[in-house]
């Protein structure tokens, strides 16, 4: 997602202009839209025209409309988003108050205005516009003298660095020039890895190459890490996975990602944080039930006691039509963060998000048991 402009007032009213660039961005946009918002975008309208002879025809005309949003329809399979509402700005083709449906498309900008931009919505824009946030897989595709350091998001691959070093051929009885150049090349690749890969976010680093280049590079990197006591590389050694590729060019990454060993490893990284958090919640519910609660009322009470260590909440709840109910969820998220708790917002499109939805969509792992809550039943109508 590309942020074109952001105009917010002190009271958090205002508008934001965005360009969705990937199918995934349509999901983010769906989560930003609410009934009552104002949406301005380019659209096609069927307009009746009358010629000088009096004959009536109809033309499809592209125009820009501003709608007051009434219904939002998202097709998760096709990643299509349709927004229906009434026209609230003068237009030569559409009367004020007339209904129209805008179909939002990738690579076409729109402007969204709200009376109140809350922290959850602003955070989603930040995450959607920062590709590195969702890139939990990194890759180094290399051959002798050429390497690409990439970040792999669920929907795209971003080249963060390209390293090129001229490696002289080995000569009979004299390999020193070749070896020195190769060492210089490896060193530059290691520096690029440290500069561009955020190991707090990245859960797996693929090192792909033809032949033995990847093995030689990894041996060099970790030998140097031991010599220089490079804790960053040593602590994340288990995240490196060596795979075959036909070359060091970026296009060779696709075949590396199709490797069965890689696909099984990568399936664990997608939403792995959410899956682990939900797993931790179920374990806590089983072994220490007085430190695991679900349902809005119970979780709010736990939050009042500043007992929440991790809050698990579904993004579906932030699409609630009732403004007051939505504000209640936002207030809970803000409060948990203020009390130094961790907040995990689950996507309702993921399996983990569906499971959380069965538990009312909101759950919490507590730092310590809360006596009044322990006596009550954990089932709730919220």
Looking at residue 152, which CATH number applies to its domain? 3.30.420.60
Quick check: 357 pLDDT over 60?
yes
Are 45 and 107 part of one and the same domain? yes
Are 48 and 89 part of one and the same domain? yes
Mean pLDDT value across residues 373-377: 57
- Name which residue leads in pLDDT, 55 or 167: 167
Range of the domain at 181: 136-268
Burial class (CB in 10 A: 0-12, 13-18, 19+), 305: middle
Rounded-to-integer distance, Cα 65 and Cα 53, Å: 30
Mean pLDDT value across residues 303-325: 92
Are 63 and 28 part of one and the same domain? yes
Query: Of the residues 115, 133, 151, which one is the last residue of a structural domain?
Result: 133
Mean pLDDT value across residues 51-62: 81
Are 322 and 300 part of one and the same domain? yes
HSE value, Cβ hemisphere, 13 Å, CA-based, for 55: 2
Query: Of the residues 217, 239, 268, which one is the last residue of a structural domain?
Result: 268
CATH number of the domain to which 339 belongs = 3.30.1330.30
In this prediction, residue 382 carries a pLDDT of 47
In this prediction, residue 268 carries a pLDDT of 54
Q: With bands split at pLDDT 50, 70 and 90, how would you rate the model's confidence at 230?
A: very high
Phi, psi of 208 (to 5 degrees): -115, 140
Query: Of the residues 110, 133, 156, which one is the last residue of a structural domain?
Result: 133
Quick check: 149 pLDDT over 80?
yes
Rounded-to-integer distance, Cα 152 and Cα 132, Å: 9
Are 107 and 94 part of one and the same domain? yes
CATH number of the domain to which 10 belongs = 2.30.30.870
Q: List the one residue out of 222, 244, 247, 214 whose CA is nearest residue 146.
A: 247
In this prediction, residue 267 carries a pLDDT of 59
In this prediction, residue 323 carries a pLDDT of 84
Quick check: 276 pLDDT over 50?
yes
Q: How many domains does the chain have?
A: 3
Are 40 and 123 part of one and the same domain? yes
Are 255 and 219 part of one and the same domain? yes
Q: With bands split at pLDDT 50, 70 and 90, how would you rate the model's confidence at 51?
A: confident
Are 50 and 155 part of one and the same domain? no
Whole-number mean pLDDT of the chain?
88
Are 264 and 140 part of one and the same domain? yes
Are 260 and 286 part of one and the same domain? no
155-189 pLDDT, tens digit per residue, is 457 788 999 999 988 877 777 888 999 999 999 99
HSE value, Cβ hemisphere, 13 Å, CA-based, for 221: 24
Rounded-to-integer distance, Cα 334 and Cα 285, Å: 24
63-121 pLDDT, tens digit per residue, is 999 999 999 999 876 778 999 999 999 998 899 999 999 999 889 999 999 999 999 99
Are 238 and 262 part of one and the same domain? yes
Q: With bands split at pLDDT 50, 70 and 90, how would you rate the model's confidence at 312?
A: very high
Are 171 and 219 part of one and the same domain? yes
Lowest mean pLDDT among 203-217, 294-308, 367-381: 367-381
Q: With bands split at pLDDT 50, 70 and 90, how would you rate the model's confidence at 29?
A: very high
Quick check: 286 pLDDT over 90?
yes
């Amino acid at each position: 997602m590309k942020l074109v402009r952001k105009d917010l007032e002190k009271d958090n009213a205002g508008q934001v202009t965005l360009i969705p660039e990937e199918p995934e961005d349509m999901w983010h946009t769906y989560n930003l839209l609410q009934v009552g918002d104002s949406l301005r975008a380019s659209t096609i309208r069927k307009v009746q025209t009358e010629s000088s002879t009096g004959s009536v025809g109809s033309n499809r005309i592209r125009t820009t409309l501003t709608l007051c949003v009434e219904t939002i329809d998202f097709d998760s399979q096709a990643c299509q988003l349709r927004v229906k509402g009434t026209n609230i700005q003068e237009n030569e083709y559409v009367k004020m108050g007339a209904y129209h449906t805008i179909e939002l498309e990738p690579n076409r900008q729109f402007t969204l205005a709200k009376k109140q931009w809350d922290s959850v919505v602003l955070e989603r824009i930040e995450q959607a516009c920062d590709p590195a946030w969702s890139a939990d897989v990194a890759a180094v595709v290399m051959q002798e003298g050429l390497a690409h350091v990439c970040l792999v998001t669920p929907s795209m691959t971003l080249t963060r660095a390209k390293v090129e070093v001229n490696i002289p051929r080995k000569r009979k009885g004299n390999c020193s020039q070749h070896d020195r150049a190769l060492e210089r090349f490896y060193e530059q690749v290691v520096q690029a890895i440290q500069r561009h890969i955020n190991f707090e976010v990245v859960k797996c680093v693929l090192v792909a190459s033809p032949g033995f280049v990847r093995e030689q590079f990894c041996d060099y990197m970790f030998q140097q890490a031991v010599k220089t006591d490079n804790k960053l590389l040593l602590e994340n050694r288990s995240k490196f996975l060596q795979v075959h590729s036909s070359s060091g060019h970026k296009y060779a990454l696709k075949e590396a990602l199709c490797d069965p060993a890689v696909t099984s490893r990568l399936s664990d990284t997608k939403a792995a944080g959410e899956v682990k958090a939900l797993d931790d919640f179920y374990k806590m519910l089983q072994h220490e039930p007085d430190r695991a609660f679900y349902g809005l009322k119970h979780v709010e009470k736990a939050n009042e006691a500043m007992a929440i260590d991790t809050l698990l909440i579904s993004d579906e709840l932030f699409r609630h039509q009732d403004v007051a109910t939505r504000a209640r969820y936002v207030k809970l998220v803000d409060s948990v963060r203020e009390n130094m708790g961790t907040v995990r917002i689950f996507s309702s499109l993921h399996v983990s998000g569906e499971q959380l939805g069965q538990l009312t969509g909101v759950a919490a792992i507590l730092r310590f048991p809360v006596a009044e809550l322990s006596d009550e039943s954990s089932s709730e109508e919220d």
